[in-house]
Amino acid sequence: MAPLTCMRDVISYLEAEGLIEIIRGRKYANDPSRTRLYPKSRLSGLLKGLFGLIEEEIRPPYISINAGVSRWKETIAGLSSDHNEVVEMTTINNFLKDHEWTCKAPVRLVYKSHILNGGRLITPFQNLPDKKVRIRINTLIDQQPICEVDFSANHLRLNLAFNAKEYAGDSPYEDIGAIAKLDNRDQIKDFMTVAMGASTETEARKALYQKGFNDDLIDRIKEATQERFPKLELFSGWGIYAQNFEGQIIKDVLLQGVAQGIVCLPVHDAIAVQRQHAEWAKEVMLETWSRHMDGVKTMVKVDMAAPSVGS
């Protein structure tokens, strides 16, 4: 059957089932309008349900670079099978092949432009919604409920640990908020993410304006940050290096999971594990982070789904 005929049959079926709206185009001499197809809410609901069932074959390459400069793209593509990072990522993915989780797919190490730029572990599982609607935390690994163990205020802590060998304390965002007289942790976190990622203060301010900040709020948080953490490096583009450290630490944790037969899935600066492995994950993450940061301590927190009604 010709592809065009197949497509017509699909469209006819979707229309007959009330899953799409068709706005038919018109033939004009100079500028004909195209027929447009729009999903209805029922189709959106069906697709959301199917998204979690999508599974990608786990196969190499497991290391990539988005926009390599100075021949880095060719270098990454040409890594030999016995290269240390190739071996590590192959070890992780070969272990994961025999396990099940939502949106199962390879875990890849992705750089941005060179090996010190980016370097986070990426997999579709981490893109599942989990803020407004808590979908990801309610999924399963090998049919068992999960938790997420994540590093608290990770980029700030990495910045201080690497540049000043300084422990950020138990509650760095709250400390800054107390000085700034600001009871909004999310705003302080947003400021820190932008201020450490931007190359200049001007660049940071422009980005913060887009998030609803004004100059007074920016100045309050900046001054409170400098008072609490005078050695913290801001407005230097340091965030991209934090991502590199973050990726290396999380990769090390995943490898330790492989050695223990424990599935760990990366979620940016956190890992998802079966709930029975929460304490193991906490201990390994704290030890691994401290080892990478020359003995400086950090903090982790455990997130679990709220118990269902009647449980």
Residue 93, domain CATH: 3.30.70
Of residues 228, 287, 226, the one with CA closest to residue 256: 287
On whether both 194 and 217 belong to a single domain, the answer is yes
Q: Tell me the torsion sign for CA atoms 184, 186, 190, 195.
A: positive
184 and 212: one domain? yes
| pLDDT for 4 | 58
Token duo for residue 12: 């006819």
Domain C-terminal end among 228, 248, 267:
228
Give CA–CA dist 235/44, Å, rounded: 41
Answer whether residue 162 is part of any domain.
no
What is the Cα–Cα distance from 115 to 202, expressed in whole angstroms?
A: 27
Are 216 and 78 members of one domain?
Answer: no
Look-up of token digits 């304490």: 279
Cα 199 versus chain centre, distance: 22
Q: Give a yes or no: residue 57 inside a domain.
A: no
Q: Which residues of the chain have pLDDT under 50?
A: 1, 309-311
C-alpha distances (whole Å) from 166 to each of 145, 155, 234, 278, 295 are: 36, 13, 15, 27, 10
- Separation of alpha carbons 209 and 125, rounded Å: 31
Q: Is residue 204 part of a domain?
A: yes
Task: Kindly state whether residues 95 and 141 are assigned to the same domain.
Answer: yes
At which residue do the structure tokens 């729009």 appear?
Answer: 38
Helix (H, G, I), strand (E, B) or coil at 263: coil
β-strands 108-111, 118-122 pairing? antiparallel
Residues 182 and 281 in one domain: no
> Quick check: is 77 in a domain?
yes
CB atoms within 10 A of CB 292: 18
Say if residue 69 is in the same domain as residue 210. Answer: no
Helices 215-228/172-180 angle, 10° precision: 120
What is the model's pLDDT at position 262? 98
pLDDT given for residue 32 in this prediction: 67
Average pLDDT, the chain: 90
CA distance 306 to 311: 10
pTM for this prediction: 0.83
Q: Are residues 291 and 263 in the same domain?
A: yes
Whether residues 148 and 179 share a domain: the answer is no
Report yes or no on 207 lying in a domain.
yes
Which of 209, 228, 247 is where one domain is finished? 228
- Is the same domain home to 81 and 140? yes
Edge-to-edge strands, sheet with 63-65: 63-65, 108-111, 118-122
User: Do 140 and 283 lie in a common domain?
Assistant: yes
Strands, E assignment, the chain: 20-23, 36-39, 63-65, 108-111, 118-122, 140-141, 144-151, 265-267, 270-274, 300-304
pLDDT of residue 235: 96
Q: Is residue 2 part of a domain?
A: no
Instruction: List the structure tokens of 223.
Output: 């001054």
Strand 108-111 with 63-65, pairing: parallel
CB 146 within 8 A of CB 274: yes
Q: Is residue 21 part of a domain?
A: no
For 232, list phi and psi in degrees, rounded to 5.
Answer: -70, 135
pLDDT tens per residue, range 148-195:
999 999 999 999 999 999 999 999 999 999 999 999 999 999 999 999
**Do 82 and 185 share a structural domain?**
no
Residue range(s) defining the domain that contains residue 175:
169-228
Q: Do 186 and 251 lie in a common domain? A: no
The answer to whether residue 233 is domain-embedded is no
Count of domains in the chain? 2
